Chain A
């Protein structure tokens, strides 16, 4: 089943010499963990932000489970999509519990259900509910904060998750842990993840399929192995070659297939 589809989407920001999204078309199946890879300015963040309508495309259509998102109220749309950002953005004046309960409050869940789900999600992101429930963001480490950020996005059980370089501000050790945990969470759900990153290793490690972008265009959309064995063009080829370890892990049929 097609979860997300972009058809001929264009987006240009004023003052830029090239388009942020240049006639982009892509189909993403349900259950995939898609990592979107590219350097700054390639359009990867713009792409996912058109899906939850934080950006409106200049032209083209976007479909969520077959429905054109233009026909859905943006606020409602966003409540059904999980959104995690690099700067995390936890609300400092709220407890961990209240932060996670943000969308439930918007959807007006009752307290019992909310509390139950909050605890469930805290456990899911490997944080002891009793210990963390009533803490404030300022009392948490960066890694812990982003786990809360994840919990906050996952709680309403959205079918699609948009993650914009979520581990970019986390230290290397915690990043590795979080990547592994995220992969596990994804595998156990049937959700579709779109994960933006500029880190090739992260992209190849996590993604069931990878979208490589440059200057608003999708250069290649394929599995890790396909990209390494049959790079679509010189740019992709050079990209792979910048990290030789990457090829080693994947050519021999490692993770991600």
Chain B
């Protein structure tokens, strides 16, 4: 197993780096999009429920089907894979962001507003910090989800470990399967550590 790694180190590490990049790029875009959408949803519970329903429907579409639908528009490879991954993450992120925000005690919101906080100040100084645990949980889920689905994206020519894993599965190459899996797990771990660092910085 280790001799395989030694022999194919550059291929494995190349795929690893690609996969890492895809996961981080996806996560970055997913969080920003979810944050923007959530900010607008704060005002209306009805809109919130509707939007979460829509994304939950998207989430239930099998990845290959969604890829197939977008190839004519966006092309093969990362150009389709990443938007699809971002779309899937919206359900996890928005749901967790909104539930975190909604769980904030109404008395705090009243106190804040009564003291003269603007809506934005209320959101950033009171709601957001208190919603953090829920939001971070959502991001954790997205990391796992993204790392997994990114593997499937190999069949639309996206980069990453998927190529190695799927090829290994096709030819029953144990080394490829093993290393593909191990490296994917490492990515999920790295992302998790990165997340904890971010959490600490925000707690400040």
Contact = CB atoms under 8 A, between A and B. Distances in A.
A91 B126 contact: yes
Interface stretch (B81-89, B115-123, B162-170): B115-123
Contacts of B130: 91-93
A88 B111 contact: yes
A77 B115 CA distance: 9
B115 A106 contact: yes
Contacts of A52: 114
A89 interface: yes
Contacts of B125: 91
A79 B115 contact: yes
Q: Which of B105, B107, B110, B115 counts the most A-chain CB atoms under 10 A from its CB? A: B115
Nearest to A106: B116
Contact of A83 (B108, B114, B126): B114
B115 A103 contact: yes
A101 to B, nearest CB: 11
Contacts of A162: 114
Main secondary structure of the interface of A (DSSP, over half): mixed
Nearest to A152: B115
B77 interface: no
Contacts, number: 60
Interface residues of A, number: 24
Contact of A75 (B108, B116, B126): B116
A54 B114 contact: yes
A54 B118 CA distance: 12
A93 B118 CA distance: 19
27 contacts: A52-B114, A54-B113, A75-B116, A77-B116, A78-B115, A78-B116, A79-B115, A80-B116, A83-B111, A83-B114, A83-B115, A85-B114, A87-B105, A87-B110, A88-B107, A89-B105, A89-B109, A89-B111, A90-B108, A91-B108, A91-B125, A91-B130, A93-B129, A102-B112, A103-B116, A106-B116, A149-B111
